[in-house]
Amino acid sequence: MLSFKCSDVGFDCNYTVTEDNDAEIMKKVMEHGKRDHNLNSNDFTPSLIDNIRGKMQKVEDN
């Protein structure tokens, strides 16, 4: 499992997401960004996506 915190890429936001893999997290983060931060697809630049991937943390599932 991987988790991601929105605040780790600079938003003043307490959103976190935990999913099986980075593709699922990206999907959820893009939905969240569009809904809660008024982002659109063009705002998810390769550098933002790299930044998001770099902030994902491994979570042990018990």
Binding site for Zn ion (CB under 5 A): 6, 11, 13, 15
Beta partners for 5? 16
The distance of closest approach from Cβ of residue 7 to Zn ion in the complex, given in angstroms and rounded to an integer, is 7
The distance of closest approach from Cβ of residue 5 to Zn ion in the complex, given in angstroms and rounded to an integer, is 9
3 state DSSP class of 39: coil
Of 45 and 62, the one with the shorter C-beta distance to Zn ion is 45
Of 11 and 44, the one with the shorter C-beta distance to Zn ion is 11
Angle between helices 22-36 and 46-55 (to 10 degrees): 120
Beta partners for 19? 2
